[in-house]
Amino acid sequence: MKIDDKVLEKLKNAKTAFALTGAGSSEPSGIPTFRGDEGFWKDKTPFTIEAFNENPQKVWEWHLEIKELISKKLPNPSHFALAKMQSFFKIFAVVTQNIDNLHQKAGSNKVIELHGNIYRNKCNNCGKIFGEINSKKMPECDKCGGFIRPDVVWFGEPLPYKALIKARAYAESSEVCFVIGTSGVVQPAASLPLIAKENGALVIEINREKTVLSDYLDCSIFGDASTILPDIYERLL
């Protein structure tokens, strides 16, 4: 499915935009989505602090496996199209729920990570931040001796405050919001397109299928983000 000419015209006139991306934008790179059929995530849940407290070593090993899969994957044309949009719009940001670092690898320079980054770690006790750690054995903090965990947001945990505030500011001030490859059921990220809409933005969804958000937005383009986004970018020029 292609973008409608009338919507395209409005897009061409906009100066400010942001994209909210979810697991579907990295699916064409070969990273399974959370709610897809693949068993990859299912045998590793639950992603909760309770699971970590019960067996930190096991949860650490799950994340090593996830990082191993992700580290072999490359950005796909949807990531590159978003990176190029930086030069089309005066202000453009990517607000992502993904933890895979692929937007940054594709060249996006304003990426707001709502759910953290699998390559970063933090002390579960004092919050000290660490870079990538590949040890099989769960490491301990050199400052306080606490357990080190991946710096990603697990179910039931609050989102990083600064990232959420920045994302909200884009939702409140942008003329365009793209909603790409997200099922729209993980809050508070899923409310950002609605905040954008409420503030007058043109909200365009790109997804393989209808979502719980679709009926509230200006238009939905159904199909693969890795073909639709490059097409939109080409037609913007």
Chain positions contacting ligand NAD, by CB under 6 A: 22-24, 26-28, 31, 33-35, 97-100, 115, 181-183, 186, 206-209, 211, 224-226
Q: Name the residue nearer to ligand NAD (CB basis): 141 or 189.
A: 189
Has 103 been annotated as catalytic?
no
Q: How far is the CB of 97 from ligand NAD (least distance, A)?
A: 3
**147 DSSP assignment:** B
Q: Pick the catalytic residue: 63, 79, 103, 115?
A: 115
> How does 216-237 read in b/e, with b if 16+ C-beta sit within 10 Å?
ebbebbeebbbbbbbbbbeebe
Q: Name the residue nearer to ligand NAD (CB basis): 168 or 208.
A: 208
Q: Torsions phi, psi of 94, nearest 5?
A: -110, 125
Q: How far is the CB of 214 from ligand NAD (least distance, A)?
A: 10
Q: How would DSSP label each residue in 62-87? A: HHHHHHHHHHT----HHHHHHHHHHH
Task: Tell me if 20 sits within 8 A of 182, measured CB to CB.
Answer: yes
Q: How far is the CB of 145 from ligand NAD (least distance, A)?
A: 29
Position closest to ligand NAD via CB? 24
Q: Name the residue nearer to ligand NAD (CB basis): 151 or 224.
A: 224
Neighbours of 132 (CB within 10 A): 12
User: Residue 175 is encoded by which pair of tokens?
Assistant: 């003329």
Q: What angle, rounded to 10 degrees, do the helices at 77-88 and 225-236 form? A: 20
Q: How far is the CB of 104 from ligand NAD (least distance, A)?
A: 12
Q: Name the residue nearer to ligand NAD (CB basis): 174 or 220.
A: 220
Task: State the catalytic residues.
Answer: 115
